[in-house]
Chain A
C-alpha cells in the first residue's frame, strides 16, 4: 500500500466521509442512478413506460439507408474524431449496430470512417457482429471499416477524397466533431448526399443544422441508441433523463422565485454545495 501514500495535506471531510464540497455532486450521481434503476426495473417487469416522441433526425436514418439502397450507393458513417473515453463517441457506438444491421439486411454497402484507432477497433467489431446477427457474415467486408489518420485534417482530407471517389448516397455523422464538421457537411451537401449530423459540440452544431438535411441537437444523440433499439429497458433510461431535467427545472424555478422575493437568501445555493 506504499503507493497510496501520496497526498500530504488532506482537506477536511464533510459528514465524516465525503471530500469537501462533494456531497451534493454525489447525491446527483446517486439520484440519477436510482431513477434509472427504477425505470429499468419497471421496464423489466413489463410495466408501462411513457412513449418517446418522434425524433426526426433518427427517423430519417432508415430513410437515408433506403435512399442509398435504391441508388445502389454506399452509406457512410463517421463517429466523430475523439476516442472511447468521450461520451459522444460512446453514443455513436450505440447507432452503429442499428445502421450496420439495416445495411446488411438491404445489402447496401456500409462504410465507417475513423480518426482514432480505438473507436475504429470497436466499430469493426460491432459491424462484424451486426452482419452475423443478420445472417450475412459473408457480406461483411473489413476493408470498408477504415482507419484513415489520427490527425484531424489529414483525416478530413481523406474523407473528402472518399466522398469524391465512392460517391456515397447517405452520410451519417454522429459524435464529437471539431472544425472538420463544416468541411465534411459542405462537401456532402454539394454532392447531393442525404446527410444526418449530430453532435454535442455547440460550436459545430450550427453547421450541421444549416448544411445537413437532418440534425440531432446535443442531448438527442445520447438518446439515439435507446431510441433506435426500441427496447423498453433502454427507453426507461431515456425517461430517467427526463426526470432529472424536471428536477433541474424545478430547482431553477424555486431558485429564481427565491432570488426575486429575497435577493439576499443563500439557502438554496448552500444546499447545492455553495456554488
Chain B
C-alpha cells in the first residue's frame, strides 16, 4: 500500500468522495461538488463547441474558404436569443424550426436502412423451435402495438397478450443487465480509489 503523491489523483479522489457523502445524506460538501460540476460542465461544452464549430466556421470556412453562407448559419443560431424580447419572441421559432426540421429529416433519411435490416433478419427458416419462437414473438409484439384492433376480440386479444409477455421478458432482460452494469460503474470508482489513490495492488 503506497498512497500516491500525484495531485491529479488526489483531486479525483476528493471529488469522488465528496459525491459519495450524499449517500449518508444531502450535505454542504455534496452540494458544493454538485455546483462545481454543474459550472464546469456548462462551460466545458460551451468552450468545446466554440473551438470546434464556431471558431472554425468564422476563421476557416468563412474567412479562408469564402463560404459566406455560413454567416447565415451563425445569424440563424443567434436568433434564438430573441426569446428574451417578449414582443419579438416569435423570431426565436426560426432556428427552432430549422433544428426540428433537420432532426425530422434525419429520422426519415437515416433510420430505414437500420430497421430494414431488422426486418430481413426476421426472415428465419421455421425449422427449429428457437426460430419459431422468434418469428411468433415478433408478430405478436407487433400486434400488441396495433392501436385500432379490437382487443376485446378473443383471438386478437390473445395474440396481443402473448406479445405483452414477450415485451415484458425483453424488458426483464434489460432490467437484469442494467442492475449489474450500474454496479460496474461503482466498481470503476472503487477501483480508482483503491489502486490509483491508495496504491493497493493485492
A190 interfacial contact with B, CB 8 Å: no
Closest beta carbon of chain A to B28's beta carbon, Å:
14
Is residue B102 within 8 Å, beta carbon to beta carbon, of the partner chain?
A: yes
**In the bound complex, how far is the Cα of B110 from the Cα of A25, in angstroms?**
9
Given contacts A90-B100, A121-B92, contact A53 B145 (CB under 8 A): no
A132 on the B face (CB < 8 A): no
Query: Told that A149-B38, A150-B45 touch, could you supply 10 new A-B pairs with CB distance under 8 A?
Result: A52-B147, A53-B146, A53-B147, A85-B100, A209-B168, A249-B142, A252-B119, A252-B139, A256-B126, A259-B124
B85 located at the interface, meaning its Cβ lies under 8 Å from any Cβ of chain A in the complex: no
Interface of B is mostly: helix
Q: Check A255–B117 contact: CB distance below 8 A.
A: no
Taking CB atoms, residues of chain A closer than 8 Å to B112 are 24-25, 28-29
The answer for the CA separation of A52 and B146 in the assembled complex, in Å, is 9
Could you jot down 5 A-B contacts, CB within 8 Å? A85-B102, A90-B103, A150-B45, A256-B135, A259-B123
Cβ of A50 within 8 Å of any chain B Cβ, yes or no, is yes
Measured as residues with beta carbon below 8 angstroms from the partner, the interface class of chain A is 35 or more
Contacts A122-B96, A149-B38, A253-B139 given: A87-B107 contact, CB under 8 Å? yes
Q: Smallest Cβ distance from B109 to chain A, in angstroms?
A: 8
A27-70: CB near B (< 8 Å → 1, else 0) gives 01100000000000000000000111101000000000000000
B178→A206 contact, CB < 8 A: yes
**Which one of A122, A217, A257, A269 lies within 8 Å of B120 (CB-CB)?**
A269
Q: Are A268 and B178 in contact (CB under 8 A)?
A: no
Closest 8 CB pairs of A and B: A85-B103, A255-B123, A206-B175, A25-B112, A206-B171, A154-B38, A50-B148, A151-B41
Q: Which interface class (under 10, 10 to 19, 20 to 34, 35 or more) fits B? A: 35 or more
Q: What separation, in Å, do the CA atoms of A223 and B144 have in the docked complex?
A: 14
Question: CA A52 – CA B149 in complex, angstroms?
Answer: 8
Chain B 119-157, CB-CB to A under 8 Å as 1, else 0, gives: 110111111000000010011001101111111000000
Query: Is A162 close to B, CB under 8 A?
Result: no
Residues of A within 8 A of B38 (CB): 149, 151, 154
Q: Is the CB of A272 within 8 A of B119?
A: yes
User: Known interface pairs A151-B37, A259-B123, A269-B123. Does A245 touch B145 (Cβ–Cβ under 8 Å)?
Assistant: yes
Residues in B whose Cβ lies below 8 Å from that of A249: 139, 142-143
B183 near A: Cβ within 8 Å? no
Given contacts A25-B113, A84-B100, contact A252 B146 (CB under 8 A): no
Complex Cα gap A206–B107 (Å): 25
Partner of B146, one of A245, A258, A273: A245
Cβ of B23 < 8 Å from any Cβ of A?
no
A258 touches B123 (CB 8 A): yes
Contact of B127 among A2, A210, A239, A260 (CB under 8 A): A260
A163 on the B face (CB < 8 A):
no
Q: How far is the CB of B175 from chain A (nearest CB, A)?
A: 4
The answer to whether B96 and A84 have CB atoms under 8 Å apart is yes
Contact B83 A24 (CB under 8 A): no
Contact assessment for B69 and A205 in the assembled complex, using a CB-CB cutoff below 8 Å = no
Q: Is B108 an interface residue (CB 8 A)?
A: yes
Taking a contact as CB atoms under 8 Å apart, the answer to whether A121 and B96 are in contact is yes
Q: Would you call A242 an interface residue if the criterion is a C-beta within 8 Å of the partner chain's C-beta atoms?
A: yes
Residues of B within 8 A of A90 (CB): 100, 103
A238-B139 in contact given A85-B106, A206-B174 (Cβ < 8 Å):
no
CB distance from B36 to the nearest CB of A (A): 10
Smallest CB separation, A228 vs chain B (Å): 13
A2 / chain B contacts, CB cutoff of 8 Å: 66-67
